[in-house]
Structure 1
């Protein structure tokens, strides 16, 4: 007989398999085929920031920026209480519900500002079962999504080896990248030098309704610093919201 925790994992595994059947790993929008992304006007970013010392209460943040000039068009911050436990490989079941909530509020109140593509602070296909947070959120929102992680997820044979570090050293200018190949040979993402001033790459992977090549080009075009501006602004604004609400730490 399975324990409650084992039953939960089994249920989440089944849900991931079902959602993965709806995943699209190719471009679906006309603007994605343009070298200059002609027709793209709104890019979104989402993030969750936690109160220090509290892994249950967080600020769910959505920003929508204009493209290509990265000016703020919309922002929403909402305090949420996470109810699902954290289990490695199943982060989406914990973080997706509040992020979907702020997206649905925008869709209901100001649909003209819905992002045409969403940047997610986390992985997409570059995941244990090739269905990370960016895939989960992309499929459920039906938005083109790009996963951008700041740290390497060591998965499917991709490890922080001497060869990996050597490849990072070979990234000389912004826009340089190299593939993240699983042990099977399947390309799960790209390590991207996103700005000339950054010594560390970001790890880009497909979330939904976009090709890897397009995701990498778009990520680079949205970077003023190491992290693409939609994610960077979501992170800055969520942390500032928490500082204002809880200047002395957790209530």
Structure 2
């Protein structure tokens, strides 16, 4: 499979999730209210700190193969849609070995979407298909179960703080990470408008995961483009802090040639810092390998099985 050059990218855009499987199905307001209630209940179950031993080893800088519970397997999930078809898509779940990032397991299949797409409620459209694939692996090949799953979407970077990665994490009781290509514009976050306020409670990330840019400088607000320009090398990042002054995610430069960052946020049973760490560890190009492989394999599956695919 030919690897793309990460320098050839589209400009970063504000993502309202509208591009992914948008349809025109009408949804009763009571359904949305029920979904919001479910999201509120799920939010109360979120664990946004490191739970597993492999994640805690990050703090000690000791995650070698000599450890009893190192990071060995990382999962990735994505759904690719059939062009012009609002009902059918290919769901993909892959597992990569770490540190070589080879695909050791893949499960791809066509799925029939039975729920409408509404911005902010992506999980109610996609989560069940992805959850079932992970549970299938746990039954058939538990020795290949990933210790963390990277999701093509968002975790806490979401209008109600519960994106697709959060849903998957709680349903599976596994650490999950949201890694989005475009910024989800919530809580006042905007791509090219002045919005970053001086934040007195923000603390710098651990060494290696901060660009060194002083958010608490005399400039009380700067543009997203200016923030991105401070990212000079892989591993550089800055926090995504909205009008609420709550950190929702991280903008992370994953490879040297990447003009735009990946927008990372924790889903479940993992911290913000470790989420960025995992995404950086698993990135050869701009998009982390777990979701890049899931995306490429699902698109290839559609090309082979659907003449009308994207």
Task: Please give the TM-score of this superposition, normalised by the length of structure 1.
Answer: 0.96
**Structure 1 residues 229 and 27: CA distance shift in structure 2, 3 A:** same
Aligned residue pair count: 247
Describe how 1:54-93 pairs up with structure 2 within 5 A: 54-93=85-124
**Structure 1 residues 184 and 113: CA distance shift in structure 2, 3 A:** same
The 3-state SS of whatever aligns with 2:302 is helix
> 1:178 is matched with which residue?
238
What are structure 1's unaligned runs of at least 5 residues?
none
1:19 is aligned to 2:42: yes
Describe how 1:31-46 pairs up with structure 2 within 5 A: 31-34=54-57, 35-38=61-64, 39-46=70-77
Describe how 1:125-204 pairs up with structure 2 within 5 A: 125-162=156-193, 163-204=223-264
Structure 2 CA distance for aligned equivalents of residues 36 and 99 of structure 1: 32
Tell me which structure has the larger Cα radius of gyration. 2
**What is the alpha-carbon root mean square deviation over aligned residues?**
1.2
How much does 1:161 deviate?
2.5
> 2:287 is matched with which residue?
227
How much does 1:158 deviate?
1.0
Task: Summarize deviations over 1:190-227 as a string: whole Å, max 9, x none.
Answer: 00011001001010001100000011011111000000
Deviates more, 1:138-147 or 1:33-42: 33-42
**Structure 1 residues 31 and 154: CA distance shift in structure 2, 3 A:** same
How much does 1:4 deviate?
5.9
**Structure 1 residues 4 and 62: CA distance shift in structure 2, 3 A:** closer
Structure 2 CA distance for aligned equivalents of residues 134 and 36 of structure 1: 27
The 3-state SS of whatever aligns with 2:184 is coil
> 1:249 is matched with which residue?
308
How much does 1:36 deviate?
4.9
> Is the 2:27–2:116 Cα contact (8 Å) retained in structure 1?
no
How much does 1:55 deviate?
2.1
Structure 2 CA distance for aligned equivalents of residues 108 and 56 of structure 1: 28
Structure 1 CA distance for aligned equivalents of residues 133 and 288 of structure 2: 20
Task: Please give the TM-score of this superposition, normalised by the length of structure 2.
Answer: 0.78
Structure 2 CA distance for aligned equivalents of residues 223 and 42 of structure 1: 14
Runs of 4+ in 1 over 4 A off after TM superposition: none
> 2:53 is matched with which residue?
30
Task: Summarize deviations over 1:133-162 as a string: whole Å, max 9, x none.
Answer: 111111111110010000011110111125
Task: Summarize deviations over 1:11-33 as a string: whole Å, max 9, x none.
Answer: 10111111111100000011112
Structure 2 CA distance for aligned equivalents of residues 137 and 36 of structure 1: 28
